[in-house]
Amino acid sequence: MSAPAPHLTGLPAEILEHVLLHLPGQDIIKIEVVRRSFADPRKSLLTCCTIQVSRHFQSLIRNSPTLQYRRELFAAGLIDNPSNPCDLAERRKLCEEYARKWSGAATVVESTHKLPLDQYLRWGYSTALGRNLVASDSLPNDGLGFLYIPPVASGKPINRWSIPPFPFKSLGFAVYHPEDLLGVVEQQEE
Partner 1 sequence: MRSLLRIHFLNIRDGSPHCGPLSNPITWTSQDIPQIQGGKLAITDSRVMLYFSHPNAAPPNRTLVWDRTTGNLVRVPWLRGSHILLTAPQVLEFPSMEYRRLDDPSIFFLDEFRVVVLTLPIGTNSLELIVFNTSIPQGHPRSIRRFRLPPQYGNEHCSALIHIDQDRYLGTPNRDVALITDPTQAILVIHVSKPPYLGGVLHIVRIQTLIEHVCSTRADVYIPWNEWGRGAVVMKMPWYPDVMFSVYGIHMTVFIRLWQSDLTCRIHNFDFGQRGYSTLPLWNGEGSKAEKGALFEGGKEFIFKVARSDGTFLWPDTKSLDNGTFFLQVSYITNSSINGVVC
- Binding to partner 1 (CB under 8 A): which residues in 31-90? 73-81, 83-84, 86, 90
Integer CA distances (angstroms), 23 to 30, 71, 73, in order? 11, 10, 13
Q: Is 22 in the site for partner 1 (CB under 8 A)?
A: no
Instruction: Label residues 70-99 b or e (16+ Cβ within 10 Å = b).
Output: bbbbbebeeeeeeeeeeeeeebbeebeeeb
Single out the segment in contact with partner 1 by CB under 8 A; choices: 2-10, 39-47, 54-62, 110-118. 110-118
Nearer to partner 1, 16 or 175 (CB): 175
User: Rounded to an integer, what distance in angstroms lies between the CA atom of residue 185 and that of residue 182?
Assistant: 10
Nearer to partner 1, 4 or 157 (CB): 157
Q: Is 157 in the site for partner 1 (CB under 8 A)?
A: no
Nearer to partner 1, 48 or 128 (CB): 128
Per CB under 8 A, contacts with partner 1 among 114-153 are 114-117, 120-121, 125, 127-134, 146, 148-149, 151-153
Q: CB atoms < 10 A from the CB of 124, how many?
A: 16
User: Rounded to an integer, what distance in angstroms lies between the CA atom of residue 23 and that of residue 30?
Assistant: 11
Phi, psi of 148 (to 5 degrees): -100, 120
Nearer to partner 1, 8 or 86 (CB): 86
- How remote is the C-alpha of 40 from its chain's centroid? 38
Residue 146 corresponds to which amino acid? F
Q: Is 158 in the site for partner 1 (CB under 8 A)?
A: no
Q: In this chain, which of 6, 44, 109, 141 binds partner 1, going by CB under 8 A? A: 109
Nearer to partner 1, 15 or 129 (CB): 129
Q: In this chain, which of 2, 44, 103, 141 binds partner 1, going by CB under 8 A? A: 103
